[in-house]
Structure 1
Amino acid sequence: MAALLPILSIAGAVMIGAISPGPSFVLVVRTSVALSRRAGLATALGMGIGGMSFAALALLGLQVVIAQVGWLYLGLKVAGGAYLVYLAFRIWRGAKQPLSLEMPTIAASIGFRRSFLIGLATQLSNPKTAIAYGSIFAALLPANMPGWTFAVLLPLIFAIETGWYTIVAVLFSSAPPRAAYLRSKVWIDRIASGIIGALGIKLISDAIRSR
């Protein structure tokens, strides 16, 4: 029972981080509304696996490694920022392109795989996620935890990340939000592109300033 409180505290901290607006939320919303619920769920799955991967690395001491090796942290920031800028460019460029909501079976299959990979890459490209997990574990995980708690934490984090983005995907893939998006696709896409691009540029500029 003594291990239950730290586990619940970590779960609460991860949930707060997941529901905070950011590039992951924007991407899942846009994918669910613009493409399909299936694509949105694939993106949500990618987010969950990406979050669980960072949690596993944090448990293995990623925070200590990054603190010791400054260039690694700067490299992660630059790489993550560059990916977000690239993603923003792709969204902006396609803002005026009409969407076909009827996809053949093969295209839908490719869309699922690509949506999953984009979700995974978006989550993994954000070094702040790694730092957040490392900080959460460092602050809330006691030094002497039973071994079974580590087997519980990773599936729990996967469930929180995937569960939240699944809710987002299901909500925004319903008919009313989809119709509203199609009516305002250009501006919604450009706003989403601006948010993601600004976050990417901020990551790169932070890395440059901290050299």
Structure 2
Amino acid sequence: MIDSSAVATVFSVYAVGVVIPGPNFVAVVHKAVSGRRSDALALVAGIVTVNLFWATCAILGIGMAFAIFPWLAMSIKLAGAAYLIWFGLRLVASAGASHATTPQPLKAPGFRSAFLQGVATNIANPKSIAFYAAVFSSAAPAHVSTPTFFAMLATVGAIATCWYGAVALVLSHATVATAYRRAKAWIDRACGGVIIALGIRQAIR
């Protein structure tokens, strides 16, 4: 039997947490405006997959594991910060790479490449790790039934897919993509700067 109150609690906590901008949001925005819609949706699929992984860990007690092994939490935190800084620097460095006066066809990296980018971005996302280890694990009741467990995972998957999917679909519109190409250098530098700042903030906290 599904515990509807537990599912409702997960829904309310996760719905608030997922819409707060972070590295995942920035990555989806950048992919949506700079690549093809299929690339953006593949990246969203990667992010959602990792969200389901973190939710599973949280329900099974990741918060307790981090409390027992603080070095594990610190290692994940520093690795995530390093990835974010590297990703942000790469965006900034390539910001002005293309100055073509006529629009060029966008080269798709393929579903697998975009999917793995989404996985890497979210698996190293300190915001996700902190949210699931602290907030989500506290909200999700322990020792839930199997139906309730899968209902909670389905709730996380549905919310993440709807939110990030909507962002990807709206920002990958041709009008938005054309506007992005006109201001590519500035937008890439801004996105890269935000991601670098998030990485540095995570490393020193």
TM-score by length of 2: 0.90
1:166 alignment partner in structure 2: 165
Q: Deviations over 1:24-60 (max 9, x none)?
A: 1111011011011111101110110011010111122
Identity among equivalent pairs (%): 35
Q: Is the 8 A contact 1:81 1:125 kept in 2?
A: yes
The 1-side partners of 2:161 and 2:135 are apart by 19
Find the counterpart in structure 1 of residue 174 from structure 2.
175
Question: Take 2:2 and 2:111, find their aligned partners in 1: how far apart are those partners?
Answer: 42
In the alignment, is the contact (CA less than 8 A) between 1:63 and 1:131 conserved in 2?
no
CA contact (8 A) 2:14 2:136 kept: no
Q: Partner of 1:91 in structure 2? A: 91
2:41 maps to 1:41: yes
- Given that 2:10 and 2:155 are in contact with CA atoms closer than 8 Å, whether structure 1 keeps it comes out as no
Deviations along 1:104-131, one digit per CA (max 9) or x if unpaired, are xxx63x4322111111111110243133
The reply to whether residue 102 of structure 1 matches residue 105 of structure 2 is yes
> Counterpart of 2:200?
201
1:5 offset after TM fit, Å? 2.0
How many residue pairs match? The answer is 202
Indicate conservation of the 8 Å contact 2:60/2:142, yes or no: no
Answering whether residue 19 of structure 2 is matched by residue 30 of structure 1, we say no
TM-score, normalization: structure 1? 0.88
- What one-letter code is carried by the residue in structure 2 that aligns with 1:173? S
CA root-mean-square deviation: 1.9
Between the aligned partners of 2:127 and 2:23, the Cα distance in structure 1 is 12
How has the CA–CA distance of structure 1 residues 51 and 192 changed in structure 2, closer, same or farther, with 3 Å as cutoff? same
Asked if the contact 1:10–1:136 (Cα under 8 Å) also holds between the matched residues in 2, the reply is no
Q: Distance in 2 between matches of 1:144 and 1:118?
A: 33
**One-letter amino acid of the structure 1 residue matched with residue 6 of structure 2:** P
Distance 1:2 1:148 in 2: 5
The Cα shift of 1:101 comes to 4.9
Q: Could you say which residue in structure 1 is the equivalent of 2:115? A: 116
Q: Helix, strand or coil for the counterpart of 1:20?
A: coil
Matched, 1:76 2:76: yes
Contact 1:36 / 1:173 at 8 angstroms: preserved in 2?
yes
Residue segments in structure 2 that go unaligned for 5+ positions in a row: none
Which residue in the other structure is 2:129 paired with? 130
Could you tell me which amino acid in structure 2 is paired with residue 96 of structure 1?
G
